[in-house]
Structure 1
Amino acid sequence: MGFDSLIGGTIWDQYSQKVTDLMNNPQNMGEITQEQADEMGATLIVADFGAESCGDAVRLYWAVHPKSDVIMHSKFKSFGCGTAIASSDTMAELCKGKTVDEAVKITNIDVEMAMRDDPDTPAVPPQKMHCSVMAYDVIKKAAAQYKGVDMESFESEVIVCECARVSLSTLKEVIRLNDLTTIEQIADYTKAGAFCKSCIRPGGHEAKDIYLVDLLAEYEKEKMAATADSSAGGGAVDFAQMTIFQKLKAVDKVIDDNIRQMLIMDGGDMEIIDIKENGAHFDIYIRYLGACSGCASSSTGTLYAIENILQQKLDENIRVLPI
């Protein structure tokens, strides 16, 4: 078997077309000079970040409007693999037109999702997910320089894996959405636990408040509780009393049974991002996909229909919030 055949049948098949295109033809690679920034009436920000774990590095250029804080232009230079180039290019594109505060909210998951050819197929092999984590850090570094503060001031999340900078909320979401059951799977999807291994379980060189084994055990308990409730009560569990795992499954089922097919027929779709209790309400955060993401009725008629069906089928206090 030749090299091309081996690669063609394995690793390259795991990259989206968007990623391979950006590897070879990045759209935002380059630099913004001080002269260019001055011509735009913008403040120039240049931020560097390097990942010691893999040797990749990225330099991010922002031209920021000094009054509105809007990122007028964004470019990058990447010193790393092809995936790092594609991820950095996507990250730079996502920054454009956003305020600095909005850009800080961009995560590695947002970058990976933006590189997918279709919503249900990962853009890169699991072992390359860490290449998009740099975007999370270099954006914070650029924002910190612009605002004159420390990077840590933007850290609202609990970080479980310091090596790969993976947050507690990201880990919980990835474990839940992909039904992960092992440390190896978590490392493949997020790179958490792949380096110094202190975050896996107690006994490493750095003590943690939360370990990956704790998250897996918590998820397993949620699944067992969901199975037990379904067996004992025929699945008739009050929405307010469900675990987060049960709520997600219940919402997904209602969407699949009543809504998704209509969206697909119009060239769109949707996914559940998160469910949070907000006082008496259950706020369900969704992301529109395909044609739905640009449809005018996604914030009016379609949104009302989705919310109304979920309220009827599950709980009258449900609110649906597109992001």
Structure 2
Amino acid sequence: MRTIVAVSPAEVYDRLPAALDGSGPALLPGGPETLAGPFGPGEDSPDDPTAVVVATSGSTGEPKGVLLPASALLASAEATHKRLGGPGRWVLATPARYVGGIQVLVRSLLAGEPPVQLHLDEGFRVPDFVAAVAEVLRTPGRHYTALVPTQLARIVAVPQALEALRALDGIVMGGAPLSAELRAAAEGVPLVSAYGMSETASGCVYDGVPLDGVAVKLVGDRVAISGPTLARGYRNRPDLTAESFVDGWFVTSDLGRFVDGRLEILGRADDVINTGGVKVPANAVERLLERYVEAACVVGLDHPEWGQIVAAAVVGEAGHDELRAHVRAELGAPAVPKVVKTIDRMPLRGPGKVDRAAVRHYLSQ
């Protein structure tokens, strides 16, 4: 009987081939031990072994274990290479405990080129990244990396690092939305903004266009995804699996719309703030504020009169009254944050995702 074993992120690349072909156990990189152990009913298949279990970086409650079969991981890697222009050598710049880092390893195995892996125990260091890019460029062919926006922001601030990025053939951006301002600061860099999650074996929509084999639709105003990259479900949670994976579609918690045929993500359904009966998308306020500050996180705080009020944490030196005026002018009075606080840096969970629960706690004090 196959089982799930907890491994360190550093072990994943060497153990991944056996996990993919089913000759070895499924891998749980850096996840809680409670997700390890024998498979439950329906969690594995001899015809398509579950290769990796990814612990999601949920901000509340226990992490969910996303069951990723070999077919989903391989389909995602093959479709990514096709979209980018062919297999190549990768710089692994994000931890292999998250699906984005795991997929860099799967792509590397398919390409037959070992990745250059950054040592991230003490965090992401721009000089180390520049050295890693120089190493992959010694290999003939195409050259790639995957980053989150916080890493890209540090890179574009260093001219030598920005030139290193421009030498690559593709940079897959994930983990969090890529702002127009950050994309502009990385002029000349071949960025691809990827949308996806652990349940879709990493990014499955690139610059608003689904990868080959992937389909996207709206269920109400929520994004739903189908195709060969979908997870099998959740570890030990058949109830959540049945709720989220419906008739071959994974129904996300993200709100979206199609603009000129491309998918645009508007934010999470649970990030819509109902203030005085008016629904304010937190993501829209964040995108506006980030024109004037380095980073912003907008949440709803409970209020006895309004139900909720809009509150914002910002990183940067812009005046709070000035920020409120910009929001009022473009989004209207209901979207104006009644609480604004400056924070040194955003608390993060997972690969570049803001810990909204921690921000909400900070703003409520």
> TM-score if structure 1 supplies the norm length?
0.28
Q: Which has the higher helix share?
A: 1
The higher relative CO (CA closer than 8 Å, separation ≥ 6) is in 2
